[in-house]
Amino acid sequence: MSRLAILCGGGSLPVALAAAHPDSICVVFEGVAHDMPGDVHTHRFEKMGGLFEALKVGGVTRLVMAGGLGRPALNPAEFDAGMMAIAPRLLPALQGGDDAILRLIIAVFEEQGFEVVGAHELLDGLTAEEGLLAGPEPSEQALQDASRAADILLALSPLDVGQGAVVAAGLALGIETLQGTDAMLRFVAETPDHLRRGKGVFLKAPKRGQDLRVDMPAIGPDTVQAAAKAGLEGIVVSAGRVVVLDRPKTLAALKDTGLFLLARVI
């Protein structure tokens, strides 16, 4: 018997994965908000050794991480033997960026004999295909702003900062950091008019060299609404490397707001 385990965070993606793979084992961690219906297996971050054993007993050979997990508050006094073994590598990694942490997590699960796969490998049509997906043709200024945002993210990639940026008329209005996309777009929305020139665009793309099996960038209907509130002209994503969550709802939100969604090779 070979089964898939879904390590579930918040959002709709873990739910969609579970629906597409009904024989999978759904794992949630204590303290992490999730939307999973039905039976789930609950584990504590401090008891990773117990999780490894439970997955092996359940016949799991592959696993996927989906949804927002955040950074757990760990209590070293509660670590089991399995967690103690990886703590010397994990605790220093928690002081760095998300990419460093996720690379370590992948390595740990692979050392336990599990194959780590990406959500885009398990669900067809999950990522944005190249081209204009919705809305009007972007203006020439919007395309230039998207290129400028891509340059910014490329320059920041070695620092493991974030996956998004907003640029208007060549000026950076926001760069995604640990607080996430929604916080950045709220900040842009609060930018005084005298500091803005033109509407601007939001670019979402993975960091250079990022392992897309985990934490692949994603947008959804809430992203579209937040971008509209920020007064942006549209959204540009990296073709084939950004997940479009709840695609029908996202496309409906784009239609309602009048924003464009363009996927480019970045």
Q: pLDDT tens digits for 200-225?
A: 999 999 988 888 888 789 999 999 99
Confidence class for position 1, pLDDT limits 50, 70, 90? low
Phi/psi class of residue 235: alpha, beta or left (left: φ > 0; alpha: ψ in -120 to 50)? Answer: beta
Q: Going by CATH, does the domain composed of 3-121 fall within 3.40.50.20? A: yes
d(C-alpha 219, C-alpha 198), whole Å: 23
Pick the CATH number of 131-264 from 3.40.630.30, 2.102.10.10, 3.40.140.80, 3.30.1860.10: 3.40.140.80
Q: Are strands 3-8 and 60-66 parallel, antiparallel or unpaired?
A: parallel
Average pLDDT of span 195-203: 93
Q: Is the dihedral of CA 142, 147, 188, 10 positive or negative?
A: positive
Domain residue spans of the chain? 3-121, 131-264
d(C-alpha 64, C-alpha 106), whole Å: 10
Please check the confidence at residue 155 and state whether its pLDDT lies above 90: yes
Alpha-carbon distance values, 138 to 124, 128, 131, 170 (Å): 27, 17, 11, 15
Supply the pTM of this predicted model: 0.85
Calculate the average pLDDT of the chain.
91
Q: pLDDT tens digits for 84-105?
A: 999 898 888 777 777 778 888 8
- Give me the numbers of helices (H) and strands (E) for the chain, helices first please: 8, 13
User: φ, ψ for residue 66 (rounded to 5)?
Assistant: -145, 140
User: φ, ψ for residue 133 (rounded to 5)?
Assistant: -90, -30
d(C-alpha 165, C-alpha 235), whole Å: 10
